[in-house]
Amino acid sequence: MTDVKFTHIGGPTVLIEVAGVRLLTDPTFDPPGRTYRFGWGTSSRKLTGPALAVADLPPLDAVLLTHDHHADNLDDAGRALLPSAGTVLTTASGARRLGGGAIGLRPGDTHELTVPGRPAITVTATPARHGPPLSRPISGDVIGFALTWPGQANGPLWITGDTVNHGSLRTAARALQPGTVLLHLGAVRFPQTGPLRYTMAAADALSLLDGLAPTTVLPVHYEGWQHFSEGHDTIADTLDGAPSALARPYTWLPLGSPHTVTV
């Protein structure tokens, strides 16, 4: 068993500390107030800033970047820290855009993170679809990450990435049997595309996790931006109202302070 510290910085940005290895997901550190373009006429305004500044971070061993082309997952300040962040793992198309030695992964690809004196962490890219069917040419490539290391007691740590619930995701989840899930939610919508969603709603998450048995589920990426249609209260109501057969040990990470999970 391993005690893992999760520090939620805001949105999808989480500092994960595993046996002395420091990982950062989707760096977003810009201040609030700016509107960012997401392409095809869509945009969103950042409403809240990060709970920690870049200067408050410890030295990083790796960044796990689910995708590079949306500012709510990689903004200007987050992009600026990448050269000092050790290994950067992201999509194959994102690695080409970023350059600088970023390592591109496609779903199913693996990469072994090695830090001297620390246990190796195997990172496997998992499938994600950032919108409705046939939206990939518009919304771009996204991946999630499954992390395994020696002595893990409860199954892999799975970071879903920005995704809707779809067949390939469900298949991957059942193959993984994750023990801990960092779950991207928020039910992203844009006025230009009406009811179409680009990330999971809480009901989608219940469906995805039905039949799985994670010991801990950590919702993230549901607050701080204009384009989220489900925030904390709506998500909590849905999760709390789920039938007992779908009940999961959901934990709301505090902003800016570490929370320890045994993985």
Query: Does pLDDT of 153 surpass 90?
Result: no
Q: List, for residues 178-214, the tens digit of each pLDDT value.
A: 999 999 999 999 988 889 999 999 999 999 999 899 9
Alpha-carbon gap, residue 102 to 178, rounded angstroms: 26
Q: List, for residues 46-59, the tens digit of each pLDDT value.
A: 999 999 999 999 99
Q: Which two tokens stand for residue 148?
A: 């395994």
Alpha-carbon gap, residue 103 to 195, rounded angstroms: 35
Of 263, 227, 243, 224, the C-alpha closest to 33 is 224
- The predicted structure's pLDDT at residue 40: 78
Pairing mode of beta strands 121-127, 110-113: antiparallel
Q: What percent of the chain has pLDDT over 90?
A: 86
- The domain limits of the chain are 3-253
CATH 3.60.15.10 fits 3-253, yes or no: yes
Q: List, for residues 126-150, the tens digit of each pLDDT value.
A: 999 999 898 888 889 999 999 999 9
Q: Beta partners for 225?
A: 46
For the whole model, what pTM was predicted? Answer: 0.96
Q: Are 72 and 28 in contact (CB under 8 A)?
A: yes
Q: State the helix-helix crossing angle for 202-209 and 232-240, rounded to 10 degrees.
A: 40
Query: Does pLDDT of 249 surpass 90?
Result: no
